Amino acid sequence: MSTPDRRGMLDRADQALSIRRQCMLLGIARSGVYRPPQPANDNDLALMQRIDELFTAWPFLGSRRMTAMLKAEGLQVNRKRVQRLMRKMGIAALGPKPNTTKPAPGHKIYPYLLRNMTIDRPNQVWAADITYLPIGRGFLYLVAIIDWASRAVLAWRLSNTMDVSFCVAALEEALATYGTPEIFNTDQGSQFTSVAFTGALVGAGIKISMDGRGRWMDNVFIERLWRSLKHEDIYLKGYADGREAKAGIASWIAFYNDRRLHQSLGYRTPMAVWRERMQAAQAVDMVDNADALTTCPQQFQQTESLAA
């Protein structure tokens, strides 16, 4: 595992393990932790953009196939360089493969809870993922939280590093705006296994689910979101900087949630489906509560007499 990958596993919010101790366990120097990330050179940025375009179209591409495709396009690259850039971009092939994801020291890996589960209710399952975005002469990382049943984007954040803080900020916004899901599903990336992120979920009483090895199908919905965003907005607009990107992405996500019709949703929008199903679920809860009162008349009468 590369040094940047190990640095990405650091969890500054972990009170059980100090930064010094985490650096020792990860085998990295503390000085490198506080050093600002070095910008990629122009040649790397151009290659990273092409890797992102190919990966967005075919997310099963690993570094070996990616290298072969780049060479077929006439680019002079070797697999070692492609591997390094894919790690920097935070991408890996979706498909059955050995489980090489290593959690940071002290990070708990939670079991996968979605196997054979029917997911058809809003706030039943939320999912999160991070993607790489080419921006001007640099790049950004985007995290998004979606509602599984409706495909609605509930919150998102941009960052120029893979630090856990932007993931926690998106989670806090989603919880404050849309309520609490029953289950939250992610991959085993160090941002999502961090104490800061899992602690927020546990504190809200949310069950945590994490993809096991080869669970590529669990990323399908959010991978479709990334593909749509990049082909319909990022690649077309060519944002010059983070400010432009933030405004443009906000506009596109508003379009995606409230105006973009999905065939799989019966040609309705994600947010319309979320609201419809939420209202239906609330109506069922009201009926269930009324039924509970009629089946416990003595308790209801006792409550009435106390109120009087």
Task: Identify the CATH number of the domain in which residue 247 sits.
Answer: 3.30.420.10
Residues 257 and 139 reside in one and the same domain: yes
pLDDT digits (tens, 9 = 90+) for 105-115: 668 899 999 98
Helix (H, G, I), strand (E, B) or coil at 54: helix
Residues 164 and 250 reside in one and the same domain: yes
Question: Does the residue 143 lie in any domain?
Answer: yes
Q: Would you give the end-to-end CA distance of the chain in angstroms?
A: 69
Shortest CA distance to 170 belongs to which of 140, 192, 187?
A: 192
Residues 171 and 209 reside in one and the same domain: yes
Query: 199 lies in which domain range?
Result: 125-265
**Per-residue confidence band for 296, with pLDDT thresholds at 50, 70 and 90:** low
Question: Does the residue 146 lie in any domain?
Answer: yes
Shortest CA distance to 152 belongs to which of 182, 181, 119, 122?
A: 122
Mean pLDDT for the chain overall: 83
pLDDT digits (tens, 9 = 90+) for 223-273: 899 999 999 999 999 999 999 999 999 999 999 999 999 999 999 999 999
Question: Does the residue 255 lie in any domain?
Answer: yes
Residues 129 and 228 reside in one and the same domain: yes
How far apart CA 162 and CA 237 sit, in angstroms, is 24
How far apart CA 208 and CA 222 sit, in angstroms, is 18
CB atoms within 10 A of CB 110: 18
Residues 244 and 172 reside in one and the same domain: yes
Residues 74 and 156 reside in one and the same domain: no
Residues 187 and 301 reside in one and the same domain: no
pTM greater than 0.95 (yes/no): no
Residues 151 and 256 reside in one and the same domain: yes
Residues 134 and 260 reside in one and the same domain: yes
Range from 114-118, 239-243, 301-305 carrying the lowest mean pLDDT: 301-305
Question: Does the residue 76 lie in any domain?
Answer: yes
Residues 241 and 198 reside in one and the same domain: yes
pLDDT digits (tens, 9 = 90+) for 12-32: 656 566 666 667 666 666 655
Q: Which of 72, 93, 114 is the last residue of a domain?
A: 93
Residues 216 and 154 reside in one and the same domain: yes
Question: Does the residue 75 lie in any domain?
Answer: yes
What is the enclosing helix (H) or strand (E) of 224? helix 220-229
Question: Does the residue 21 lie in any domain?
Answer: no
Residues 203 and 287 reside in one and the same domain: no
Highest mean pLDDT among 51-65, 152-166, 287-301: 152-166
User: What's the domain count of the chain?
Assistant: 3
Q: Letter for the amino acid at 111?
A: P
